Structure 1
């Protein structure tokens, strides 16, 4: 048993599930997007939809998309921060299907750039990222994560793994567009690759996103 199990996570409350977990999901989305979006849509499911105002889920989701950490006291001023930074946002109660009750789908926009993730707060501040741009996955957010849009051609994964050259903890693959010949490759990594820019030289790689683990920033 760790000290975290005894005293709980360091956070601005009130709830590890509805506040901390929500912020971590939104922060993952922020890091995936690579910058602050101009507009965000939050689709709230189940318990999140019913209690998000009372538990501060709304503030946590805004704070996370602005890049704040769970111990930042500015979380309570999230609405003011969003106004100052011209962030447009909306909260939409939605039925996301047979998913965890504390689930949110976050859709981010800037110019023509659109990304979305779906995640659940599963208790004690732990999260599960269950979809990235419509592709099913099961990410904890505890690993460095590399998301690659690549051509669906023979040898693509082999060439990608040769470039990143670090241990892969988990791997998810899916063909996303058979007509255009595109796939999405999601890798959870034990450490950050030192040569990510080399991916741009691969003929099979269309674009990629890197989400570093918050543990590496402590």
Structure 2
């Protein structure tokens, strides 16, 4: 894989012990929280491969829950995240899976709150680097860089409208993925960009026809 900086190799500032099992896990949890747009009432965390075998010893459970609480990788509260989650009213269930994943550090997170649900699958590649590979059955690739997620109806011209707004504000697109379940039904755009995205950009995107949700990822 291509490294963008030394921090992709040595990992981010973090609470240990492992960049892949702790920092990466925390980032996956935090992205799940961001996509859910609030703290869930219940989280089911399914661990695969190496995560399933070593999650307690390496603090992967603490890190994922810390992310769901919106803690950063260096937050000193990470070791107490399970207790904090319980006090805040968030139920967390961990389960280990026997299935062999494509990557050894794989986690599936299901979040619930009344009628809202989210399913996310992420992998921790190493050095704190992650990829989100699936959101609500949409296959994609999201690295955790500054990004926006656009949910919309699959209609002619929507991609052009969205990218035109970004061009208007001189926002450069580094990576973009588009997925849909069926023709004419719900579709999703994941757009990674090179700079922070201002509130006015988000509001203009939300005003577009057929766009139902615009979420700004953790930056």
Q: TM-score, normalised by structure 2?
A: 0.88
Displacement after TM superposition at 1:72 (Å) = 1.2
**Cα RMSD between the aligned structures?**
2.0
Please tell me whether the aligned partners of residues 173 and 183 of structure 1 are also in contact (alpha carbons under 8 angstroms). yes
Alignment of 1:49-128 (within 5 A): 49-95=52-98, 98-128=101-131
Please tell me whether the aligned partners of residues 19 and 60 of structure 1 are also in contact (alpha carbons under 8 angstroms). yes
Counterparts of 2:11 and 2:149, CA distance in 1? 31
Q: Which of 8, 13, 27 in structure 2 is aligned with 1:10?
A: 13
3-state SS of the aligned residue for 1:31?
A: helix
Cα displacement string for residues 77-110 of structure 1 (whole angstroms, at most 9, x for unaligned residues): 1111011100111111125554211000111111
Q: Which structure 1 segments of 5+ residues have no match?
A: 214-218
Q: Say if 2:192 is the partner of 1:188.
A: yes
Note closer, same or farther for the CA distance 1:57–1:98 as it changes in structure 2 (3 Å cut). closer
Q: Which structure 2 segments of 5+ residues have no match?
A: none
Cα displacement string for residues 146-167 of structure 1 (whole angstroms, at most 9, x for unaligned residues): 1111111111111111223321
Q: Say if 2:214 is the partner of 1:208.
A: yes
Partner of 1:19: 22
Counterparts of 1:28 and 1:171, CA distance in 2? 17
Counterparts of 1:96 and 1:168, CA distance in 2? 35
Q: Say if 2:40 is the partner of 1:37.
A: yes
Q: TM-score, normalised by structure 1?
A: 0.89
Note closer, same or farther for the CA distance 1:7–1:128 as it changes in structure 2 (3 Å cut). closer
Partner of 1:153: 155
Counterparts of 1:51 and 1:184, CA distance in 2? 34
Please tell me whether the aligned partners of residues 12 and 73 of structure 2 are also in contact (alpha carbons under 8 angstroms). no
Please tell me whether the aligned partners of residues 49 and 101 of structure 2 are also in contact (alpha carbons under 8 angstroms). no
Counterparts of 2:69 and 2:96, CA distance in 1? 21
Aligned length: 211
Counterparts of 1:177 and 1:97, CA distance in 2? 28
Counterparts of 2:160 and 2:36, CA distance in 1? 26
Partner of 1:216: none
